[in-house]
Amino acid sequence: VEIDQQDPPDAWHPAGPNWRDAVDTSLTVSLGQADVGCVDPEAVSARWGRLMDLPVTIGRNCGMHKVRPVDFCVRFTPAGPRGEGLDSVEINVRDVAEVIRRAAERGLPCDGNGVTIGGVRFIPKNV
C-alpha cells in the first residue's frame, strides 16, 4: 500500500502512461474488499483511518475494524499463521466459474471459491 499522491488522482504512474488501454472489464468489474492481518487491528485501522481521513467502523463479524474508501472496504483482522500482511482480496466479477476456470488453466491453486496467488487468497464474487 502506498501513502502518496498520484496526479491526476486517477493516474497510476508505476504502470506507465498507457495503462488504461489494457483495462478489460469483460470479466472483472471492481475490487470489493481486502483483509489485512495485523498484530493490533485496532491500532492499524486507526492509523489508516487518520491517513486516509476516513472513519473506522467496527463490524459485527469478529470485531473486524474497517476503513471504507469509496466503494472498497479494507478489513483489519488479527494476523494468522502467515504473520502480518494482505490475507485476501474479494473481486467483483461477472462470472465466478469462468474466473476459477481461467486460473486453473494457468496452473494456479484453486477451489470452487477462490484462487491463491503468492499466499494471498483472491475470492471472486458475482455482481
What is the reported pLDDT for 88?
A: 95
Closest CA to 78 of 63, 60, 59, 57: 63
Domains and CATH numbers, the chain: 27-126 (3.10.180.10)
What is the reported pLDDT for 53?
A: 79
What is the reported pLDDT for 89?
A: 96
Confidence of residue 63 (pLDDT cuts 50, 70, 90): very low
What is the reported pLDDT for 68?
A: 58
Residue 73 has pLDDT above 90, yes or no: no
Within 10 angstroms of residue 53's Cβ, the number of other Cβ atoms is: 7
CA–CA dist 107, 35 (Å, integer): 24
Average pLDDT taken over every residue of the chain: 84
